[in-house]
A and B are shown apart, each in its own frame.
Chain A
Amino acid sequence: EPEVTQTPSHQVTQMGQEVILRCVPISNHLYFYWYRQILGQKVEFLVSFYNNEISEKSEIFDDQFSVERPDGSNFTLKIRSTKLEDSAMYFCASSEVLGGSSYNSPLHFGNGTRLTVT
């Protein structure tokens, strides 16, 4: 079964450094997402991306975050200047488009990148 893959599985960085988290969505999917899960807390929506632009973003997704689809297969999340509170599991997800609407197609998640900011 096709799956969403994420690299690296664990990233340790120092406060203030830039990190790039990488994802390869399922190949026929057109909508891409980033979610995060701080340890012991709920999975939270960050951003959705379609047709090479951001569709929706949450209040968490401020100016230090950016997303990009640099080629036909990868989808990246960049955090420009990491803070301690950015430590979390970051999940990439994708969904296909059915009937022209993403609401009929569920999300499939990758196994996440554990980001530790020291």
Chain B
Amino acid sequence: QKEVEQDPGPLSVPEGAIVSLNCTYSNSAFQYFMWYRQYSRKGPELLMYTYSSGNKEDGRFTAQVDKSSKYISLFIRDSQPSDSATYLCAMSETSGSARQLTFGSGTQLTVLP
């Protein structure tokens, strides 16, 4: 079983739709959960950062973590064409001497005008 699984898509939605992106993981030691957005030929850009279970909202974006189910989600409300990108989930453990992120494979999202 892969450590982090993410539906690669591609996912295509009309402008204004609510988008739900998800990742599952197997390592119960993961404590920190992130969502990155990556435009073509660019570096990952941090969108949301959460610790442990619960919800976090930032504008049109909501990150949700359910540690009991080992499942995290990113919701995008009122999606815009500029949201078209690849979305990467990433997570890390607390142990060790420095951060080491484990990424999902990314979901490619297209928002159609």
- The yes or no verdict on A and B being binding partners is yes
A42-B106, A107-B46, A111-B42 as given contacts; A33 in contact with B99, CB under 8 Å: yes
Contact indicator B45/A48 (Cβ below 8 Å): no
- List A residues 70-118 near B (Cβ within 8 Å): 91, 95, 102-103, 106-112, 114
Number of chain B residues whose Cβ lies closer than 8 Å to a Cβ of chain A: 26
In the complex, residue of chain B having the shortest beta-carbon distance to the beta carbon of A41: B105
Could you tell me if A45 and B44 are in contact, using CB atoms closer than 8 angstroms?
no
Asked if residues A55 and B43 are in contact (CB atoms below 8 Å), the reply is no
**Inter-chain contacts of A43 with B (CB < 8 A):** 44, 88, 90, 101, 103
Closest to A32 in B: B98
Task: Answer yes or no: B82 CB below 8 A from chain A CBs.
Answer: no
Please classify the interface of chain A as helix (H, G, I), strand (E, B), loop, or mixed, using the class held by over half of its residues: strand
> B residues within 8 Å of A by Cβ?
31-32, 34, 36, 41-46, 49, 88, 90, 92, 94, 96-106
Q: Which residue in B88, B94, B100, B104 is a CB contact (below 8 Å) of A45?
A: B100
Q: Which residues of A contact B (CB under 8 A)?
A: 4, 6, 31, 33, 35, 41-45, 48, 50, 55-56, 58, 91, 95, 102-103, 106-112, 114
Task: Flag if A110 contacts B96 (CB, 8 Å).
Answer: no
